[in-house]
Structure 1
Amino acid sequence: MRKLSLREKIGQLIVTGFAEPNMTGDLRRLISDYKIGNLILFSHNVENKKQLGSLCAELHRFVREQTGIPALISIDQEGGRVTRLPADAANVPGAMAIASTGRPENAYAAGRITARELRALGIRFNLAPVLDINNNPRNPVINVRSYGETAETVEQYGLPMLQGLMDGGVLASVKHFPGHGDTAVDSHLGLPAIHKSLEELSELELRPFVQAFRQGAECVTIAHILFPALEPEKVPATMSRAIVTDLLKRKLEYNGLVISDCLEMDAIRRFYGTAEGALGALKAGIHLLFVSHTPALVAETSERIEKAVRDGELPMPVIDEAVEKVLYYKRKYGGENEEHGTGPAKGSEDALEAVGGAVHRRAAQAISLESVCLVRGELPRIVPESGDTLFVGCLPNRPDQASSRVKAAPSFADSLGEALAAPHLTIAIDPSDEEIGRTLEIASRYSNVVLGLFNGLDHPGQIRLANRLAAVGCRVTAIALGKPYDLASLEGAACELAVFEYTALSLASLATILRGEAEPTGRIGIGSLADRMDGIRREPTEGREAN
């Protein structure tokens, strides 16, 4: 490390992304000029497994050529709605779906499958699992990414997922410390605040993280959230020395890698500025800074940190301590001789055979099938080609900035209609009264309507349609493809199912169950979810879309 220049050291502390499925000129310049040594991949970088394996191999090669140090390539591969891997890989279900199976071994299997797929592609750093407790049903960004509403549920499933990733040889980052579950604001779009004391946080939000640290978690992501009772200055946990150093490192005795969430999220960029937020994060004790999208902001961040060191604003030992920590994990996971074996960093043909293989796909589908929950009512058996059932639903969309971008995603109505040889109708995500009227007219020709709801509390036209269909006498089977809380606002649906995610995997499981080939064995009552849904059901529905 002593041979590294200041700019080279700073480059080891920054993670950046790029906007194409291949290396861009801007990315090459950042790596060559600013010595950026770490990358993050998103769905817009991914086309298929062969392309992704080749891209990772090129990234590894170029970073090593320009910096002399292995790259860390990271990805948000949580499962469910936050999946970046391509369709020809094995994408596992998400957290709440896995918890609904009632089997913690499914969480371990999901972690192990994910690790194997990532390593075969040349990716050694997964920004998962989520250990937030979803104790606020209005949470716009965590919700189904959490394993549940209690610390016990999150520990019961989140820790096996973590262990599966670790046993598979992948650096895993638990997130979002000290807890993002009890917020009603998405930190991608605003600056949330949690007004809880340390004692209150210790009784709930901190518990899964403490258990993860005891289990050997090597990395933790810090949340962009204000905690006024812990940090008197108006700065989020990301920039708080009281939270990162005093609480996390000293009080909880955590000694692993500490990383920021993306510093381009509005919680930082709009209120503090990305470069200043990065500087504040280093001062707080964070080691690795994510500036995930904009080349100009990466350059500005590097230059701002360099200036702070040269001006004496940021002590050089802070930089050196962070670089030593990053290099330790690069030696362990970033090279070709890391402790966990010699898994390929080249995306070779032999390695890629493991990605999306039959064993992984069968395991992922089995977990998904076990996750489907019959929440209320009696499940109808749909006879293919009977002509008495209409499938209705909106197209998939991106519900928040954390979710993967929608590409050629399957449509609920089309997929289920084709799988069961039944009529189907695609509607807008928030149908107007006029569209609701047209849909009622078409639905009147059928005995049964199977309606896919996708985050209907945020798009109340879906809820109005479901209730209107039931009111005019249609036998409605309502299926929550996102937040299960949508079901709490229904009036008169004959049957309610929850699958937690709008993916090809969940739609295939639904088709199997609706054909009568399997029973929905999932349990939505994990933790206090069932009681919470009953509570929401009793609340008025007016104005919910504003939350």
Structure 2
Amino acid sequence: MPRIRHGLGMIAALLVTGCGPGIGASPAPSPRASAPVSAKPSATPSAAPASATPSARPSGSLAERTLAEMSLRDKVAQLFTIVVWGQKAGAASKENEARYGVATPAQVVEKFRPGGVILFDWAGNVSGASQVAALTTGLREAAAKAGNAPLMIGVDQENGLVSRLKSVVTTFPGASDIGKTRKPANARDVARATGEELRDLGISLDFAPVADVNINPRNPVIGPRAYGADPGKVAAMVGAAVDGFHAAGVASVAKHFPGHGDTSVDSHTGLPVITHSKSQWRKLDAPPFREAIAHGVDAIMSAHLVMPKLDPSGDPATLSPRILTGLLRDELGFDGVISTDALDMAGVRKKYGDAEVAVRAVLAGADILLMPPNLPKAYDAVLAAVKSGRISERRIDQSVLRILRLKEKRGLFGPIRTDPGAVRSAAHLKIAKRVFAAVK
């Protein structure tokens, strides 16, 4: 089937433009709240730590030009990746009404101008390949109509236990099975084929691979989602998977930093505590993230867990400047996008309210605020923090520029292309069969 092209025209290019299995249970509706008010001019940027600054790029890139045209309100909106309910961009949903005050997924995107949308089967986003491609196209067209930066659409498609598109795409082995083959080439091939199918559905970012080293056999949240219990083997698999996603032209997200492998508590329902010393962390948890960074991973997702010997404050890693900025940015040298894990999870909501969580995540070093339980409240809190000077506008600019550079790198400023007929191809089925047969 020929690749379908949906031209957004020159205007779209010039206008301002994951998560664990526990998220699979649809959360209760939030009270209706008003949307952000209309955009106002940005304030003068203030200073921010040099460690948080993206590496210098030639001025005048598409991402930089887009940022220069954005209001403060649209910059703050770019930080959020949200859930919308329904199979069609133009179909009404009571869940959207309850949470966002508008009925259709397209109206949500037009009203709130988020940087991204994440698709879920439990949100009614997935019933067939053509349906998903039409939904992603409609959402991106709505973003262009609203004068946003291009919309980035993501999904948790790890394969295996966490497979949000399992009714639509080729069934591939999960990470633990791939790890048993002892061949990183299998991780690369599965990631490439997965990425190609996501791209054909209009999805540009996969919240995968899992980079956790599952050294605790009682781990209730990672387990078979990890490539194994050996840091070296997991690192090789993660690096290969990143290469595979990039070969497909899809962004990859290594998760869950600083490492969720040695826990017996699920961060969807509680706050895990891992007592690794810094030297243990460097030996056991860090190698797969180092390898992902070496392979140019687009984004890294934080974990909602406490490592008191890395940060004695008691705050989860998602809210920890010592971990996200001190370790991930400064020690490991990561200059890509940092995404929180879902902000509706119990592990990050134990200590602070939902508004304060969003602010503290930005202060810690996060760029993408994923799935806040109350979008208007979180948006208003971040905006107020910038206006009060608690967060500098320069700090917001750094995050937005990282996000826009990722979108530019993955072709989101160009025309929309989908090819749902290419999903479950004979070549991909052959890869799946070969890797399943190699599992020992």
TM-score, normalised to structure 1, is: 0.64
Whole-Å Cα distance in 2 between the matches of residues 86 and 50 of structure 1? 14
Identity %: 35
Q: Does the 8 Å contact 2:129/2:423 carry over to 1?
A: yes
2:210 equivalent to 1:130? yes
Aligned residue in 1 for 2:127: 47
Aligned-pair CA distance for 1:88: 3.9
Higher mean alpha-carbon deviation, 81-90 vs 310-319, is at: 81-90
Aligned residue in 2 for 1:117: 197
Aligned residue in 1 for 2:141: 61
Cα deviation, 1:290-336, whole Å, max 9, x if unaligned, reads 016x4xx0111101111111122221111111111111111122525
Corresponding residue pairs, total: 360
1:481-520 aligned at under 5 Å gives the runs none
Whole-Å Cα distance in 2 between the matches of residues 49 and 146 of structure 1? 27
Name the SS of the counterpart of 2:146 in structure 1: helix
1:218-257 aligned at under 5 Å gives the runs 218-257=298-337
Mind listing any 5+ residue stretches in structure 1 that lack a counterpart?
A: 338-343, 372-521, 523-547
1:166-177 aligned at under 5 Å gives the runs 166-177=246-257
Q: Does the 8 Å contact 1:56/1:346 carry over to 2?
A: no
Q: Does the 8 Å contact 1:54/1:346 carry over to 2?
A: no
2:433 to 338, 358, 365: 365
Aligned residue in 2 for 1:5: 71
1:37 to 115, 140, 152: 115
Whole-Å Cα distance in 2 between the matches of residues 257 and 37 of structure 1? 13
Whole-Å Cα distance in 2 between the matches of residues 259 and 67 of structure 1? 24
Aligned residue in 2 for 1:345: 416
Q: What amino acid is aligned across from residue 17 of structure 1 in structure 2?
A: V
Q: Which has the larger radius of gyration?
A: 1
Whole-Å Cα distance in 1 between the matches of residues 108 and 433 of structure 2? 40
Q: Does the 8 Å contact 1:49/1:86 carry over to 2?
A: no
Q: Does the 8 Å contact 1:147/1:157 carry over to 2?
A: yes
Q: 1:274 to 1:192 in 2, by over 3 A?
A: same
Q: What amino acid is aligned across from residue 242 of structure 1 in structure 2?
A: R
Q: What amino acid is aligned across from residue 421 of structure 2 in structure 1?
A: E
Whole-Å Cα distance in 2 between the matches of residues 167 and 366 of structure 1? 20
Whole-Å Cα distance in 1 between the matches of residues 332 and 430 of structure 2? 40
Q: 1:334 to 1:276 in 2, by over 3 A?
A: farther
Q: 1:8 to 1:336 in 2, by over 3 A?
A: closer
Q: What amino acid is aligned across from residue 345 of structure 1 in structure 2?
A: I
Q: 1:28 to 1:276 in 2, by over 3 A?
A: farther
Cα deviation, 1:482-538, whole Å, max 9, x if unaligned, reads xxxxxxxxxxxxxxxxxxxxxxxxxxxxxxxxxxxxxxxx1xxxxxxxxxxxxxxxx
1:213 to 265, 273, 293: 293
Aligned residue in 1 for 2:24: none
Aligned-pair CA distance for 1:37: 2.6
TM-score, normalised to structure 2, is: 0.79
1:193-212 aligned at under 5 Å gives the runs 193-212=273-292
Name the SS of the counterpart of 2:255 in structure 1: strand
Aligned residue in 2 for 1:298: 375
Aligned-pair CA distance for 1:86: 4.3
2:265 equivalent to 1:146? no
Mind listing any 5+ residue stretches in structure 2 that lack a counterpart?
A: 1-66, 94-102
2:84 equivalent to 1:18? yes
2:241 equivalent to 1:161? yes
Q: Does the 8 Å contact 2:86/2:105 carry over to 1?
A: no
Q: Does the 8 Å contact 1:48/1:86 carry over to 2?
A: no
Aligned residue in 2 for 1:356: 424
